[in-house]
Structure 1
Amino acid sequence: MEFRWLSRKELSLLKEIDRKELVDEVYYIRNHELRLVKEYYDIDGWLESELALYTQRLESIFDRDGIIIGAFEKDHIVGLVSLESYLINGRTMKLDMLYVSHDYRHKGLGRRLVDIISQEANELGAKELYISATPVRNTVDFYLRLGAELANPPDIYLFELEPLDIHLILPI
């Protein structure tokens, strides 16, 4: 597995990550606690509108000197992680995206990408990562296993951008 910073022209490789997933539980915040709710979604891949927005988001992060790292297996991208370039409250950096292709999940790749981006953030002065996680159980549970906790309170600006997400803080 090769890990490397992506160039701006490579950001469209995001579309090659297989994001299919069967979801049967999602988290909601109720009374400042996580609550699991049965909901079913069959995520078959990228919606074109979503992919365009996420690619633009990566371009914006890149243009602000953020960090975008790809994981490659035999020259094929199988994972991606991105980090905003600025500190929040002088100690926190936002882990903006983390995607791992379907066939590479539960094999340590996500953890490896978080470890790599955590090291980069730490070198830039961060003490923790802010994560606005999709409320899917697998995603939230992944971050909780890494040691993340609910952001209490969540960052007002970031919460307004993604109010349905689960907002977490991961010490690094």
Structure 2
Amino acid sequence: MEFRWLTRKELTQIENIDRKELIEEVYYVRDQELKLVKEYYDIEGWLPSELALYTQRLTSIFDRDGVIIGAFDKDILIGIVSLESYLIDGKTMKLDMLYVSHDYRKKGLGRRLVDIISQEASELGAKELYISATPVRNTVDFYLRLGAELANPPDIYLFELEPLDVHLILPI
């Protein structure tokens, strides 16, 4: 397994990440508490429009001098993590994106990517990561296991961008 910064040209390789996931529970934030609700979604992969938006988002982060790190298995991108280039309130950086291919989940790859991006953020002066997580139970539980807590209050601007997400702070 190889971990390295991605070049601008490599950003389109996000399409190689297998997003497949069966979702049975999602979180909603109510009165500053997480409430688990049964909802069923069968994610089969990237929608073409979604893939284009995520590639564009990564390109924008890259062009703003953000950090984008990929995990490769035999030259195939199997995981990606990205970090915005600016500090929020002088101490927080936004972990913008984390994806791990289906067959590589629950093997420590996501944790390793978060560790790597946390080190990068720390070197840039951050004390914590802001995470706007999709409300899927597996995703939110992953960040909670790493020590993240609900952002109280969430960043107003980031909350407006993704009001259905679970907004978290992860000390680094």
Task: Report the TM-score range of the alignment, normalised by the length of the smaller protein.
Answer: over 0.9
Tell me, in whole angstroms, the C-alpha distance in 1 between the residues paired with 2:86 and 2:147: 22
> Equivalent residue of 1:135, what SS?
coil
Aligned to 2:161: 161
After TM superposition, the score normalised by the length of structure 1 is 1.00
- The 5 Å alignment of 1:1-172 reads 1-172=1-172
TM-fit CA distance, 1:31: 1.1
Identity %, equivalent residues: 85
Amino acid in the other structure paired with 2:149:
E
Q: Distance in 2 between matches of 1:99 and 1:82?
A: 10
Q: Which amino acid aligns with 1:118?
A: S
Cα distance in 1 for partners of 2:11, 2:36 equals 34
Q: What is the distance in 2 between the residues matched to 1:72 and 1:6?
A: 10
Superposition RMSD in Å: 0.3
Taking the aligned partners of 1:139 and 1:133, their CA distance within structure 2 comes to 7
For 1:26-67, what per-residue CA distance to the aligned partner results, in whole angstroms no more than 9, with x for missing partners? 000111100000000000000111110010000000000000
Deviation at 1:144, TM superposition (A): 0.0
Q: Distance in 2 between matches of 1:78 and 1:104?
A: 7
| Residue segments in structure 2 that go unaligned for 5+ positions in a row | none
Deviation of 1:151 after TM superposition, in Å, equals 0.2
Distance, in Å, in 2 between the alignment partners of 1:127 and 1:39 is 35
Number of residue-to-residue matches in the alignment: 172
**What's the CA shift for 1:114?**
0.0
Give the match's secondary structure for 2:167.
strand
Secondary structure, counterpart of 2:37 in structure 1: strand
Whole-angstrom CA distance in 1 between matches of 2:114 and 2:19: 18
Q: Partners of 1:40 and 1:150 in 2: how far apart?
A: 24
Which 4+ stretches in 1 moved above 3 angstroms? Answer: none
3-state SS of the aligned residue for 2:122? Answer: helix
Q: Aligned partners of 2:44 and 2:83: how far apart in 1?
A: 26
